[in-house]
Amino acid sequence: MSIATNEVDSAPSHFIRNIVVEDRERNKNGGRVHTRFPPEPNGYLHIGHAKSICLNFGIAAEFGGLTNLRFDDTNPSKEEVEYVDSIRSDVRWLGFDWGDREFYASDYFDRLYEFAEKLIDKGKAYVDDLSADQIREYRGTLTEPGRNSPFRDRSVAENLDLFHRMRAGEFPDGSHTLRAKIDMASANLNMRDPVMYRILRTAHHRTGDKWCIYPTYDFAHGQSDSIEGITHSLCTLEFEDHRPLYDWFIEQLEIHHPQQIEFARLNLTHTVLSKRKLLQLVQHKHVAGWDDPRMPTLAGIRRRGYPPEAIRAFCERIGVAKRNSTVDIAMLEHAVREDLNRRAPRVMAVLRPLKVVLTNYPEDRVEQLDAVNNPEDPSMGTRNVPFSRVLYIERDDFREEPPKGFFRLSPGKEVRLRYAYIIKCEEVVKDPNTGEVVELRCTYDPQTKSGSAQSGRKVKATLHWVSAAHALEAEARLYDHLFAAESPEDIAEGEDWTKNINPNSLETLSSCRVERLLADAAPGTRYQFERMGYFTVDRDSSDKMLVFNRTVTLRDPWAKIEKGQKK
């Protein structure tokens, strides 16, 4: 476990922790705590999974227990090795280690097959000839009981024979199933003779062509937990109605009984968290891939620059509850800001450059100014920033006709340049054809150098800047919510949820200028661009062009808009 112990120490209590504490007091399972994180490898992990990962690994670590990583790979048609690899690296990136306990439900296919035979032997399972459609028809509804299949009362011998022949490949796909014999009138639809095995001639990513019958998730999941000696099977609320079925299987099989505990899944505003829908975004090219920095996948937010520490802190903060709710995505962004504020070095970068010429500054002069790397952490030290006659400032920091309350640069007005001097705008140069402002001619006041004895004169704004001759060109990708709607999945009948995709979720600025020291920054390195937000070097960065992802803004711009304030 590489999770910092102080994070665990400060963890607030919740109902699952309380259950574990009580179980240990009663010496249940000999006081052992053994959990697992059981993803189905049919997509990339998302921030919702992070909640489950932090919970499972966190609670075990807290009580000196173990956590397995188990791939619930019972459905061969939807699963791919790419997903297994991504899940592994995402869990590791979040800061968790499953040691040598990496398991696959498919490792248990032989055991599960034996379990099925045992249930047949006990008269608790039967081979059905009904088709999938017929099974659905016979199942009944919430208000009407189901009907018994005409094949329900086959003898044990006949069932065993048919089940063996299913495995031997004697029957076509879909022609037979193995079903649990429970109660077609149960109020719980999951107990109405659920299917345990189906015939499916699809190669499996691990077992190849060995099997042409596969266990259903419902038959595999609880037994896999049992085989692994899991003590607490933590899962999301939608499995509450499946618990009686899982308990039934375990009791009939007389094997170790893990305790299933359900908790509320994480929902986030402006976000879709369903692998099926995320897959659709990728396949229909609404995003550039699973790790598009706008995606809520761990691969996406990692590329975007979210630190794993921030995600763990966020998961602690949202807690674990029994009732579904939706968390404001601003909380996640806040956790990211809080972390980066302390740890990311600050640099100056101009995203939309406007040229400034200091007419009274000598042409050949370059001063090295002293800049603080992070005022939150003096141990991060200082660096030199070159200052010269030709600079770039942010285009937004100049207004030819400043509105009331605009204290940044405008004709005849003064501002301070960060770590440097006070400058005054003397002249505005425009493109004669377009009227666009292309250059500001300014003077600097040599008496006002930052940190010098005479620097005391006050002006109302301090701007960031870079020296034109020394800065590097860079691309910045600015992201906004992928979904403009707060609840993108709330749609009217007949509407498509993809209509809520925000067409302006990506803005690319390709002529930014950044301090030269960023040239050697490896992909994944995070910075605060002073006044502009937190940015992370993207893996598209090359010797030719530095590329940055805006990880998060300095403040939450949406909150301001909602309060009716200006941006």
Q: Where on the chain is the footprint of ligand ATP (CB under 6 A)? A: 38-40, 48-49, 51-52, 235-236, 265-266, 273-276
32, 36, 40, 449: which one is catalytic? Answer: 40
Active site residue 486: no
Q: Which is nearer to ligand ATP, 259 or 455 (CB)?
A: 259
Q: Which is nearer to ligand ATP, 50 or 371 (CB)?
A: 50
70, 198, 275, 550: which one is catalytic? Answer: 275
CB neighbours of residue 209 within 10 Å: 10
Please tell me the distance from the alpha carbon of residue 377 to that of residue 5, in angstroms, as a whole number: 22
Q: Which is nearer to ligand ATP, 318 or 390 (CB)?
A: 318
Q: Which is nearer to ligand ATP, 43 or 307 (CB)?
A: 43
State the minimum distance, in angstroms, from the CB of residue 111 to ligand ATP.
Answer: 21
Contact yes or no for 139/180 (Cβ under 8 A) = no
Strand partners, 346: 528
Active site residue 40: yes
In sequence order, the 6+-apart residues with CB closer than 8 A to the CB of 463 are 393, 394, 397, 408, 409, 415, 416, 417, 418, 531
Rg of the chain, C-alpha, whole Å: 31
- In degrees rounded to 5, what are phi and psi of residue 510? -105, 5
Please tell me the distance from the alpha carbon of residue 101 to that of residue 37, in angstroms, as a whole number: 11
Contact yes or no for 313/321 (Cβ under 8 A) = no
The residue with its CB nearest to ligand ATP is 48
State the minimum distance, in angstroms, from the CB of residue 277 to ligand ATP.
Answer: 8
Active site residue 265: yes
State the minimum distance, in angstroms, from the CB of residue 391 to ligand ATP.
Answer: 47
Q: Return the percent helix, strand and coil in the chain, to nearest 5.
A: 35, 25, 45
Do β-strands 437-445 and 353-358 pair in parallel, antiparallel, or remain unpaired?
A: parallel
State the minimum distance, in angstroms, from the CB of residue 288 to ligand ATP.
Answer: 20
State the minimum distance, in angstroms, from the CB of residue 275 to ligand ATP.
Answer: 3
Q: Which is nearer to ligand ATP, 170 or 238 (CB)?
A: 238
118, 139, 147, 265: which one is catalytic? Answer: 265
**Nearest alpha-carbon partner for 369 in 500, 493, 467:** 467
State the minimum distance, in angstroms, from the CB of residue 314 to ligand ATP.
Answer: 12
Q: Which is nearer to ligand ATP, 39 or 308 (CB)?
A: 39
Please tell me the distance from the alpha carbon of residue 359 to that of residue 151, in angstroms, as a whole number: 95
Q: Which is nearer to ligand ATP, 87 or 391 (CB)?
A: 87
Please tell me the distance from the alpha carbon of residue 536 to that of residue 465, in angstroms, as a whole number: 19
State the minimum distance, in angstroms, from the CB of residue 562 to ligand ATP.
Answer: 25
Q: What is the 3-state secondary structure (H, E, C) of 426-462?
A: EEEEECCCCCCEEEEEEEEEHHHCCCCCCCCCCCCCE
Tell me the catalytic residues: 40, 265, 275
